[in-house]
């Protein structure tokens, strides 16, 4: 009898341990394509959260990036997402792709790093100026990506639209592969510098990042306040010999409003107090700094993030 009781207690103990294991919050972080920056950085963030925040199990999910991520957040299909600050602003205010359908059920966790609009062509190819892209096969980014939004903005500044090019909706990896094979003449990437896809291309071709003129840069900044001028240094990529003026925006991490204040407080804290693990895990992790945590944020913070930044005196 006593033995039977002990067996029952042992079984109950195992069951209670199992319940404890499976009671951890299972969170999804929407990122971007596997050849971009969002996916590996998101994976690094998830690993650190899993290691340092008890009761949370986070997974990074590859997606079509910013536009798709906003919709995933809106539907509750994911819990957190990395998005461009301009896309978050447009979503919140019902502009551009979100016209008449604003998305407000999210809060910003933090700014992560600057993202640079890069338009890649062959240095010895036919495209020397923006006017030369007319009629050419150009990848404008994956459908539903922030890259595609920025491509339209830059083309507009130069008096062009998709009517003037043969637009191809390709991910970073697809763009790199088709460019190497000569199937497209140029491609847009909005992402961290250096971008893995462009790094890959530069090992086989002498490339050029087509610059945006000072005049056009001012027009873009006047119309789209999120776009700020930045310079990509020469030799950032192999066989890229010229410094390039081009627009940049900020990458944000956002969370659905269904996430609790405590969960987001703990995640925000770990983002900025991870003992250097994030910088060691990914090059862009070094850019995640408390001093720039609110740079480019123009939509409401999640209450958990707001609480953490208030404690740290970040405004």
Beta pairing, strands 106-122 & 186-191: antiparallel
N-term to C-term CA, the chain: 66
pLDDT tens-digit series, residues 80-98: 999 999 999 999 999 988 9
Tokens representing 112 are: 């992560």
Q: Provide the pLDDT for residue 6.
A: 44
Topology adopted by domain 24-113+250-312? D-Maltodextrin-Binding Protein; domain 2 (3.40.190)
Q: Provide the pLDDT for residue 2.
A: 43
Q: Is 139 helix (H, G, I), strand (E, B) or coil?
A: strand
pLDDT tens-digit series, residues 118-170: 999 999 999 999 999 999 999 999 987 889 989 999 999 999 999 999 999 99
Q: Round to whole Å and give the CA distance between 156 and 153.
A: 5
The full DSSP string for 45-94 is HHHHHHHHSTTEEEEEE--S-HHHHHHHHHHTS-SEEEEEHHHHHHHHHT
Q: Provide the pLDDT for residue 17.
A: 44
Q: Provide the pLDDT for residue 8.
A: 41
Q: Provide the pLDDT for residue 218.
A: 93
Long-range contacts, stretch 212-217, CB < 8 angstroms, 24+ apart: 212/117, 212/154, 212/157, 212/245, 212/246, 212/247, 213/245, 214/245, 216/157, 216/158, 217/245, 217/247
Backbone angles phi, psi at 136, to 5 degrees: -90, 160
Q: Provide the pLDDT for residue 296.
A: 84
Q: Provide the pLDDT for residue 192.
A: 83
Q: Provide the pLDDT for residue 196.
A: 86
Q: Provide the pLDDT for residue 23.
A: 56
Q: Round to whole Å and give the CA distance between 46 and 114.
A: 20
Domain boundary assignment for the chain: 24-113+250-312, 116-249
Residues of the chain with pLDDT under 70: 1-23
Assign domain 116-249 one CATH number from 3.40.50.300, 3.40.190.10, 3.90.550.10, 3.40.50.1820.
Answer: 3.40.190.10
Q: Which of 275, 278, 209, 227 is nearest to 44 (CA)?
A: 278
Topology match between the domains 24-113+250-312 and 116-249: yes
């Amino acid at each position: 009898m006593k033995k039977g009781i002990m067996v029952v207690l042992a079984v109950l103990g195992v069951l209670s341990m199992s319940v404890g294991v499976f009671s951890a919050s299972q969170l999804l972080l929407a990122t971007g394509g596997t050849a971009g920056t969002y996916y590996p950085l998101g994976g690094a963030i998830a690993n650190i959260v899993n290691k340092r925040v008890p009761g949370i199990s986070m997974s990074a999910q590859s997606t079509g990036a910013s536009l798709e991520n906003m919709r995933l957040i809106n539907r509750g299909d994911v819990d957190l997402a990395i998005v461009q600050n301009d896309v978050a602003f447009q979503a919140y205010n019902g502009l551009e792709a979100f016209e008449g359908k604003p998305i407000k059920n999210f809060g910003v966790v933090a700014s992560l790093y600057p993202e640079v609009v890069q338009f890649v062509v062959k240095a010895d190819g036919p495209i020397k100026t923006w006017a030369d892209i007319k009629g050419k096969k150009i990848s404008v980014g994956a459908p539903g990506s922030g890259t595609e939004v920025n491509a339209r903005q830059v083309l507009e500044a130069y008096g062009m639209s998709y009517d003037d090019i043969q637009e191809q909706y390709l991910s970073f990896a697809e763009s790199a592969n088709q460019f190497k094979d000569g199937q497209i003449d140029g491609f847009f990437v909005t992402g961290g510098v250096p971008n893995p896809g462009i790094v890959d291309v530069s090992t086989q071709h002498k490339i050029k990042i087509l610059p945006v003129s000072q005049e056009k840069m001012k027009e873009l900044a006047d119309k789209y306040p999120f776009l700020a001028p930045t310079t990509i240094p020469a030799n950032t990529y192999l066989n890229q010999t010229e410094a390039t003026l081009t627009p940049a925006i900020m990458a944000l991490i956002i969370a659905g409003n269904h996430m609790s204040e405590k969960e987001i407080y703990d995640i925000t804290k770990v983002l900025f107090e991870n003992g250097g693990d994030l910088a060691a895990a990914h090059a862009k992790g070094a850019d995640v700094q408390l001093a720039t945590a609110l740079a480019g944020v123009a939509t409401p913070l999640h209450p958990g993030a707001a609480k953490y930044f208030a404690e740290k005196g970040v405004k």
